[in-house]
Amino acid sequence: MVAAASVVAAVGTVTGMVSALDEGGGKDQARPKVTESPTLEPLPAVPTPSASDSSAKPSPAKSSAKPKPKPEPKPSTQRPKKPDNTAPSANSLYRYGDSQVLDWVRANRGDPRRPLIESKIADEPAAVWFADYSPGTITSRVRAVTSGAGGRVPVVVPYAIPDRDCGGASQGGAPDLAAYDAWIEKFAAGLGSGEVVVILEPDAIALSECLSAGERADRYASLARAGRTLKAANPKARVYYDAGHSGWNAATRQAGRLRAAGAASAASSDGVFTNVSNFHRTADEAAYARKVLSALGGPPDLGAVIDTSRNGNGAPADGEWCDPAGRKLGQSPTLRTGEARIDAYLWIKLPGESDGCKGTPGTFTPGYAYDLARG
């Protein structure tokens, strides 16, 4: 079986975060520390660090082939109306001002690669990852992102499920599901009251073969609680669940797992996400996402978001997933796709942050970024 997975990063970080005050009044770092990158059956890469005093963590990246298995609050019954897919302008997504690529651009004004990297990557809005388990500061760090959006829509990624990445490069997360449930409540408290897109736990559903049947059921129940918690805290939050990608699990199989995790319920879900940290073409992902949604059932307005950060040339034919050569940036992030049931194209994996072959996992690698930008 070809290795393939979808997501992410070496443990722990956020895709860009500024220092923020934590609830206790101390200075908080929006960025996590960089740790080893998880292997999701193709190895992932960690999230990006923030500019605070603490160490940065990379933003996740995953493989592109099929992975091999490895050894509450009461929800509101009213579903907020989802914005018309053709209404928002393409630039209504929020670009957070603290990320590894922005740090590099600011520090390397004379580098001949800088203009292309700045215009093609640094100027685009991308997701902000929260991949470290730090319950004391998570609320203030999420709030640092959502409170500065100024009417635009931030994309945030909670990534702390226990047994994350099945012990691969992005391993880590909360110590147990009870701790995770409490962490998600603190995460949700930072969402504010404006529109925000939540990419809930990349690979947590598509990559779960390492768990026993009972452990999977417990994880799915926890993810269902997480969705309800997030939407109860902010009814304008749009929460999307892990559908893997078109080269991984069959749509009907993935839909069954998603249903068990609450993704078919209006109280916890707005739909699914695909292709995180992967390379599959947008058209293939859109077709796959629609099949998943059809098999999933649930409200007819459930939609999908697709990670287009590195899929401009599609996935390598040989299934290579670690910083493969010949890739390029995909469609720019937008909330206006013009495609039925496809709510957005997003840059969830941060382009230029290495999977671990062209640089340290999860860290910004200018040579790799430049290749993607000129691709």
C-alpha gyration radius of the chain: 18
pLDDT at 13 over 90: no
- Does the active-site annotation cover 165? yes
Task: Convert 91-135 into a string of H (helix), E (strand) and C (coil).
Answer: HHECCCCCCHHHHHHHHCCCCCCHHHHHHHHHCCCCCEEECCCCC
- Does the active-site annotation cover 355? yes
* CA dist list (Å): 130 to 16, 50, 89: 9, 10, 27
User: 285-323 as b/e, with b when 16 or more CB fall inside 10 Å?
Assistant: bbebbbbbbebbebeeebbbbbbbbbbbbbbeeebbbbb
**Catalytic site residue from 103, 132, 203, 284:** 203
Tokens describing residue 44: 């992932």
Greatest Cα pair distance, the chain, in angstroms, is 56
Tell me if 375 sits within 8 A of 121, measured CB to CB.
no
Interaxial angle between packed helices 138-146 and 177-188, expressed in degrees from 0 to 180 and rounded to the nearest 10 = 40
Smallest CA-to-CA distance from 17 within 163, 138, 124, 118 is with 138
The string of pLDDT tens digits covering residues 207-218 is 999 999 999 999
pTM above 0.75, yes or no: yes
Distance CA 39, CA 43 (A): 3
**Catalytic site residue from 165, 242, 284, 371:** 165
The string of pLDDT tens digits covering residues 146-205 is 999 999 999 999 999 999 989 877 889 999 999 999 999 999 999 999 999 999 999 999
The string of pLDDT tens digits covering residues 246-304 is 999 999 999 999 999 999 999 999 999 999 999 999 999 999 999 999 999 999 999 99
- Does the active-site annotation cover 28? no
